[in-house]
Amino acid sequence: MKMTDLPFVQAFARLCDDGWHEGWHERNGGNLTYRLTDEEAAAAAPYFDAEPRPWVKMGVCAPSMAGAFFMAKGTGCYMRNMKDDIEGNAGIVEIGPEGDTYRVRWGLTIGGKPTSEFESHFMNQAVRCAHDGGATRVCYHMHGPGIIEMSFLVPLEDRAFTRKLWQMMTECVVVFPEGVGVVPWMVPGGPAIADATSEKMESYRTAVWAHHGLFATGRDFDEAFGLAHTVEKAAQLYVAARAANGGSDDFLNKISDQGLRDTCRDFGIQINEAFA
């Protein structure tokens, strides 16, 4: 038995590989974090480095995450290489007692530190956990071509973006009835975009980064990947339907607002009434 045999490590690597095969991770694009349970942290501890690496100060702070352990993709690392070298391309970090530092406890042997967008992941998880009692454990960032294309065509506003996605296929309002948040283009990798994204996560489980990609959160790997997959598929359908319609999104047929509300009623789901 070794660290890479642990089930959560294998599941982490599988999601990275799934995203690569979907075409969402050019070069070293995209990233993934997972917050370990207490039991998983205990199972991983025997494989930690004998000496923890130095504490690193972050530009954000979430005291609620103090003492947590996160598995994270490494900076500059490629999703396509994850399954072949998990220890090189990912690692486990420990959050400091004030919730504003981290130190590497295992892995990340290629780049030496977690993804440059770790602060966004960290704050997204902190915000979502405050809303769901700590159920959120996965934060996934992908560069889906459909969602990027759509960000050039639709107003960068939560309601407008959500409604276009909901109307593309029936599953959407069931999978994300609260809608999606939209963050206008910002320089990635720092505390400013982390704060802007986590503000959206107060209301949504997923947030679009205009001209860049998507963040999706979930209680487990399947939920986070499934949310990202649904949003991306709907975005691709929107772009394709608009192109087939001569560039217009005044489609002959679409799901009505009443249809959206009826779907949520029959599935026992609360729709975001401000968007329907």
Residues labelled as active-site residues: 117
What are the Cα distances from residue 253, in Å, to 82, 147, 165, 166, 258?
43, 22, 14, 13, 14
Q: d(Cα 128, Cα 21) in Å, to the nearest integer? A: 28
Report the C-alpha gap between 81 and 73 in whole angstroms: 11
Contacts of 55 (CB under 8 A, 6+ apart): 96, 101, 102, 103
Residue 138 near residue 219, CB atoms below 8 Å = yes
- Residue 124: name the closest of 187, 65, 36, 211 by CA: 65
Residues 132, 224, 168, 151, CA torsion sign: positive
Compute the distance between CA of residue 243 and CA of residue 6 in angstroms, rounded to an integer. Answer: 46
Looking only at the bridges linking them, the beta strands covering 206-209 and 181-183 are parallel
